[in-house]
Structure 1
Amino acid sequence: MRTSQTFSISFFIRKKKKQPALALLYARITVNGKSLEISLKRTIPVDKWNQSASKLTGNTSESRQINKKIDETKAQLYKTYDSLLKEGLLVTTQTVKARYLGSDQQHYTLTYLINYHKEKMDKVLKYGTMKNYTTTENYLKDYLKAQHHTSDVYLKQIDYQFTLGFESYLRVLPGLQNNGVMKHMERFKKLMRLAEHLDWIEKNPTKRFKLRFDQVDMVYLNKTELEKIKNEEFEKPVLTINRDIFVFACYTGLAYADAKALNKNNLQIGVDGNKWIYTRRSKTNTAVRVPLLAEAERILKRYKTHPKIDGTEKLLPVYSNQKTNQYLKEIAKEVKIKKQLSFHTARHTFATTITLANGVPIETVSKLLGHTKLSTTQIYARVIDSKISNDIDNLREKLNDEKTEMVTDRTFYL
């Protein structure tokens, strides 16, 4: 049936009643002898129209623009016709026109995409990650209202200019530094990539946007600072509790969520007959096995009967992340350490001061931290001056030994 189908395109003009010197430009599509008109929404001078060539005469800027529009329309209509045939759909003048104008397709909006993402990812992504997405989505809605004076926008209307505009909008918000802006842009890019994968958009306008994160100095405690915190006597019991849990993390490398989730089932006897922590990283679900060092074990024993965990399976009375970080700032102030402490500082301290600085191989540290790539752990190795110093001392010693052997060998032959 399709082989006998005919399809043709022609262009014509229709004079304006009140302005006979001007005319509106139309395309006529014909399928199997039946025709339908499509307005190109262009007004042209009647005396310059060449009907036999379906072109505007002359070489003026206006003529070139109109003729270009005619060529583009013709090419797009043929493409539309071919796509309908390829998809096995009924081809009529109405279906060709509807596909060309886009009225046969469902047009998804940014709000629809946001709600779809929430629905599908709510059980997949962690609570904290979803909370971050909600913040980004709220910023997108605020941006639409402030800069575009609307509450929603079709995805096909989002272009590269919209993307750059959103970045500019974020940069003037109070409290947002460059890396914070980049995190929101990263989530926006992921949302638009989802729309692309769902075939809701033909081109992803955020694909060309490059994320530009500033390198941030890693905050960790050196041996002296860690001892200072460990030995400090605090008047407030709440500071002592949070200090102890922080120190526990310094000797286990556990992130906040993993330390908070620890229970008695996570304590196992390892291959060496000693106590180990067997758990999974909340962030990546990667298996983690950490031998329990003496300092960490002492802290667990100290809180065995604490009222907050007594009678439960929990191992430590961990406060909320916000409160914990608030208390850690207070602790840093009391012990006069001029570093911005957070719970994650403990993980950095474990990787640097506790393990790498004491000669633990980087491959082992990577396993203890639950990293899936060694390159992630190598970031810690770069910040250990003492490790570099020890490695160079070992190199010097080795080179001196080789030099001594060469002198000895030369003496023997003499």
Structure 2
Amino acid sequence: MKKLNLLFIVSKSRIRKDGKAPLFCRLTYLEKRKQFSTGLFINPKNWNNSLQECEPPNNDNNYINSQLNLIKNQINQVFLYLQINNSEFTVDDIYTKFKGNTPKKEFGVLEVYELFNIRILKLIGRDLQKVTYKKYIESFVHLKSFIKAYYKANDIKLKDLKLNFLNEYEYFLKTQKGLEQSTINKAIQRFRKVIQFALEQEYIDKNPFIGYKAKRLQKEVIYLSDDELKSLENYDFSQTRLQQVKDLFVFCCYTGLAFKEMSNLKPEHIVNGFDGNKWIKMNREKTSKPLMIPLLPKALDMINKYQNEEILLPVISNQRFNSYLKEIADIVGLKKNLTHHIARKTFASTVLLFNDVPMEIVSELLGHSKLSTTQDYYAKIVNKKVSEQMSRLSLKITSKNEFNDKG
């Protein structure tokens, strides 16, 4: 059984002018100490340390001894109470309870993660999509596996988290789970949101992960060039299923809609904008945030071609959509592994950025919550555009100089 040691100590280094010194109480539990003042003062010569009492018997010494017994009894009662009602507690909890306050509950990492998941579950259909919730559950399972493997425990206390935790967790996900860096970054990002929740609820006092920086991942953005997009647009397929998928893909190349947004597009999502043109107005499937996209002529052609009373575009599963895109790429002669997401990248790159649409507008049309997200993805494309502009400028300057030299 875990034992509590209680010791009264005379602070001889703090003797007052009247010759008396303060009496302290020191609690030791689980090799941790907590020392506090009893508010009593005695003559150090009257203190019997082995008996833990004042001598000789007189009114003053008897009063002090009775107060010390009262403190000792109260602390022992607190200790017994905490043993019965708490599976784990600290020496600070004993002192807090002795002073009449309720000890602050120490939450476990996985315990808080579960509380967070319960909280966001209620947001599905409002501010959160079910697929996002499932990602948090998946990340929770990974974290649980890590704690079991690394700490040999079912959970660890929030207060025990250190900066190194994320480094070891990242290493575990890479070596034991075989995850790619982008997936690892997402899992850690979700966990840090749980920690932010713990801070807001005051389950911990400070963020243990201040200073942590996720490994930056520079992924090449795959998109169709202007020539590739034109060759796809101009190709007519004899098979209806391939023609429809091609049309849907082209539609997303000119709108940037995610697959579910494209699939759920209804007549009420097409509105007249402030400029008198047609716009798509809907909420993003991923974040539920409002999305406004002007309908470019190519996209409007597809709506006019397929629209009906309920769903504007043909309905197809994501799996079949991407499967048919591979057939389409082979037939047209595109050397890229076509997926629906490439249409979104093509919209941002070939349709917008290469036509001098500012980055902040691209970010808005893509529905990114932060401009930095767009910048991180499309920085190389912007650099390519700058390079092209500088090459044109260089030719222009060279031609001008040659003309002047001839003159």
TM range (shorter): 0.5 to 0.7
**1:226-275 CA-partner distances (Å, limit 9, x unpaired):** 23333445576444333221110101122333323321111122344332
- 1:112 aligns with 111
Asked if the contact 1:220–1:345 (Cα under 8 Å) also holds between the matched residues in 2, the reply is yes
Q: Which runs of 5+ in 1 are unaligned?
A: 1-23, 43-68, 82-90, 306-310
Name structure 2 gaps, 5 residues minimum. Answer: 10-21, 40-70, 83-89, 95-102
Indicate the larger mover: 275-284 or 392-401: 392-401
Q: Secondary structure at the match of 1:77?
A: strand
**CA pair 395-372 structure 1, distance change in 2 beyond 3 A:** farther
Change (3 A) 1:158 1:366: closer
Residue number in structure 1 paired with 2:189: 186
CA contact (8 A) 1:144 1:152 kept: yes
1:38 to 11, 14, 27: 27
Q: For residues 100-156 of structure 1, what are the alpha-carbon distances to aligned partners after superposition, in whole Å with 9 as ceiling and x for unaligned?
A: 343633222233212211121220433232121111001112223333343333323
Moved more, 170-179 or 244-253: 170-179
Partner secondary structure for residue 27 of structure 2: strand
Correspondent of 2:262 among 246, 259, 262 = 259
Aligned residue in 1 for 2:158: 155
Backbone CA RMSD of aligned residues: 4.0
Q: Does 1:369 align with 2:366?
A: yes
Residue correspondences, number? 338
Q: Note the C-alpha offset of 1:36.
A: 6.9
Partner residue in 1 for 2:57: none
Deviates further, 395-404 or 247-256: 395-404
Task: Work out which of the residue numbers 345, 354, 357 in structure 2 matches 1:357.
Answer: 354
How far has the Cα of 1:384 moved from its partner? 5.4
* C-alpha distance in 2 between matches for 1:160 and 1:380: 31
Contact 1:219/1:341 (<8 A) preserved: no
Matched, 1:77 2:35: yes
The alpha-carbon distance between structure 1 residues 354 and 333, as it changes in their structure 2 partners (threshold 3 A), is same
1:302 aligns with 2:305: yes
- Per the alignment, residue 7 of structure 2 pairs with 28
> Alpha-carbon deviation of 1:171?
0.7
TM-score by length of 1: 0.67
Task: Output the CA distance in 1 between the equivalents of 2:30 and 2:148.
Answer: 30
User: What is the identity, as a one-letter code, of the residue corresponding to 1:38?
Assistant: L
Within the candidate set 290, 293, 307, 2:293 is matched to 290
Contact map agreement 2:28 2:91 (CA 8 A) in 1: no
Residue 209 of structure 1: SS of its match in structure 2? coil
Question: In structure 1, what is the equivalent of residue 378 of structure 2?
Answer: 380
Separation in 1 of the partners of 2:143 and 2:385? 45
Q: Relative to structure 1, is the Cα distance of residues 389 and 146 closer, same or farther in structure 2, using a 3 angstrom cutoff?
A: closer
TM-score by length of 2: 0.68
Specify whether residues 359 and 35 from structure 1 end up closer, same or farther in structure 2 by C-alpha distance, changes over 3 A only: closer
Structure-2 change in CA distance of 1:363 and 1:154 (3 Å): closer
Q: Residue 63 of structure 1 corresponds to which residue in structure 2?
A: none
Structure 2 counterpart of 1:201: 204
Matches within 5 A, 1:315-326: 315-326=312-323
Q: Measure the CA separation in 1 of the matches of 2:382 and 2:188.
A: 32
Is 1:100 the counterpart of 2:79 in the alignment?
no
